[in-house]
Amino acid sequence: MARKKGKAISFDAMVKFFMRNYDIPTKKDVEKLMEKMDRIEHLLRTTSGRQTRASSRRAFGAGGQSAGTKTVLTASDQVLEIIKKYPDGVGFADIQAQSGFKDKKLRNIIFRLNKLNKIRSKSRGVYIAA
């Protein structure tokens, strides 16, 4: 018996298949990204006159105050100040109660402060200023 041949696959269909399965961007995808980049650049140009949080922190210097303004403590600074109040160490629950930060945020802050050698762990869940 003669074998029945299937429908021939076009080259375009094969290219589309590979582009979809291997996440290869199309010309449309690149154009959309370019439009988004243009919008972001436009927003940056229009808001460049405003002072950002990071640049305002740099204007204060290393913890000093500008004339007539109050320095805003970062979350890490707040947690460090709480830990410094307790020379014998303070527990995670106490830090959380005083700072009001959620678990994940507080764990990230403690990890970062520990990595920067600003605090150290006295025992599991108890931290002291380094």
Note whether 85 and 122 are same-domain residues.
Answer: yes
Number of H helices, E strands in the chain: 6, 3
Cα–Cα distance, 39 to 19 (Å, whole number): 27
Specify whether 123 is located in the same domain as 75. Answer: yes
Q: Tell me, yes or no, whether 77 and 31 share the same domain.
A: no
Domain that holds residue 31: 11-46
Distance CA 71, CA 57 (A): 8
Nearest-angstrom CA–CA distance, 4 and 113: 71
The answer to the question of residue 24 being in a domain is: yes
Residue 84 domain-assigned? yes
57 lies in some domain: no
Q: Are 106 and 99 in contact (CB under 8 A)?
A: yes
Residue 59, pLDDT score: 47
The model's pTM is: 0.46
Residue 67: predicted pLDDT: 53
Tens place of pLDDT per residue across the chain (130 aa): 566 677 778 898 999 899 889 988 888 888 898 889 888 888 888 876 555 555 545 544 545 555 555 677 889 999 999 999 999 999 999 999 999 999 999 999 999 999 999 999 999 989 999 8
59 domain-assigned: no
Is residue 51 assigned to a domain? no
> What domain count does the chain have?
2
Does residue 90 sit within a domain? yes
Mapped onto helix, strand or coil, the DSSP state of residue 70 is: coil
Q: Is residue 102 part of a domain?
A: yes
Q: What is the pLDDT of residue 4?
A: 66
